Amino acid sequence: MAKKSEQLVEHLFRTEYGKLVATMTRIFGTSHIQLAEDIVQETLISALDHWSIEGIPSNPVGWLVQVAKRKALNELKRNKMMQKHHQSGGLSQDPSYQIGAVFLQDEIKDSQLRMIFTCCHPSLNVESQIALTLKTLCGFGIREVANALLTTESTINKRLYRAKASIRESNLPFCIPQGKELESRLESVSLTLYLLFNEGYNATIGGTLIQKELCLEAVRLTKLLVDYFEENQKLCALLSLMCFHTARFEARLDDHGAIVLFEDQNRMLWNKELINIGMLYLKKSMHGQSLSAYHIEASIGAEHCLAESFETTNWQNIYNYYKLLGKLKPNPIIQLNLAIIQSKLEGIETSLTSLNKLTKNKALKNYHLLPATQGIFNMKLGNYKKAIAYLHEAQKLRPSLTENKFIEEKILECNTLLSTSS
């Protein structure tokens, strides 16, 4: 009997789910993503049954592939609906031979790429794209997708239902786009992965682990694309910027889960390996003519990661990058960042003047980080009363729990400083 391993790799089921759903979709066609998911779910449940009693097999992935393959064959035999799909360039007459082929490692990767293009198809709205990606490619459950995206299960159910219906109706091919189409399709895939990453990165401050997984999944899928489209500089830049952000993950919260401001972060906690990978892909991204917002954001990330300390950061460079970014992708958050960086170049007072001007910007009216920044800057200047007023204002704009705790502590600090100074 084969040697049994005691423990499974963390998230093995989740990762294999994604691979197998992609493979199944290749076999059954994009109209049958639900069927693909059902077969894979059944496969995992069988694994649970067998492995709990008989122990984990020495090659768990191989076991899952075998069972999934058998289930797929049974389904093909059972259901004539597949005939149509076969004739339209899918599988040939002899399903068992072809099925063996799609389960080869390179082909599984290929199926995952096709799945990325299907999930991020421009005919779907961005919310659906992200939900579908997380559910099918990343193997998250409905509840997990809802938690990760800070919404309800019924919302996610509706998004997935609509996405699958729309894919069915438009009869999307399951393929990697070619020729002229490729460039624009890669753009939309990149954007979805960028947004997926941001969902995770911005929400991690909310304190749950699942958001970190979102980021790691975005990195994993981007890496899959980069490996295939090696020459695409925008993808390299995107991967690079994700690496720089992910590298700083551990330093953003302290042992008690409280926020650590960027300037106070322990740079020793930054992940050197990820920073190096980020640098590698940033270099690759510079080989061609293309300059995208991802390039600039990655350059900003690199600038931060390479600085020895907060004080010795090259703020002028970062300011220039943001200026450029603002031109490429006008966005009020960039204006906010520019105003904040001003404090390093021209002093906090000048920065506060710019921040005050930004309060008139409608898009930032309900953005808690604006008054929060005004509060912190006033605190640095010793204007504690003013600082408290701004921090209260920020609290009213629904910061996350962790952020709220941080603001609360700063208010407390201001009060203490006020009472000792008087």
Residues that bind other proteins (CB under 8 A): 8, 11-14, 16-17, 41, 44-46, 48-49, 51-53, 139-144
Contact 163, 145 (CB under 8 A): no
Between residues 18 and 301, which has the closer beta carbon with respect to other proteins?
A: 18
Contact 262, 271 (CB under 8 A): no
Amino acid found at 382: G
Q: How far is the CB of 225 from other proteins (least distance, A)?
A: 23
What is the residue-wise DSSP string for 105-123? HHHHHHHHHHHHHHHT-TT
Q: How remote is the C-alpha of 45 from its chain's centroid? A: 28
Q: How far is the CB of 138 from other proteins (least distance, A)?
A: 10
Between residues 141 and 326, which has the closer beta carbon with respect to other proteins?
A: 141
Closest CA to 65 of 93, 90, 83, 39: 39
Between residues 32 and 121, which has the closer beta carbon with respect to other proteins?
A: 32
Q: How far is the CB of 44 from other proteins (least distance, A)?
A: 5
Q: How far is the CB of 90 from other proteins (least distance, A)?
A: 24
Element (H, E) at 280: helix 272-285
CA distance 186 to 284: 17
Between residues 11 and 223, which has the closer beta carbon with respect to other proteins?
A: 11
Q: How far is the CB of 250 from other proteins (least distance, A)?
A: 22
CA distance 143 to 123: 25
Between residues 53 and 268, which has the closer beta carbon with respect to other proteins?
A: 53
CA distance 190 to 196: 10
Between residues 149 and 282, which has the closer beta carbon with respect to other proteins?
A: 149
CA distance 342 to 321: 13
Q: How far is the CB of 119 from other proteins (least distance, A)?
A: 17
Q: How far is the CB of 98 from other proteins (least distance, A)?
A: 24
| Cα first-last separation, the chain | 79
Cβ density class 330-367: b for 16+ within 10 Å, e for less: eebebbbbbbbbbbbeeebeebbebbeebeeeeebeeb
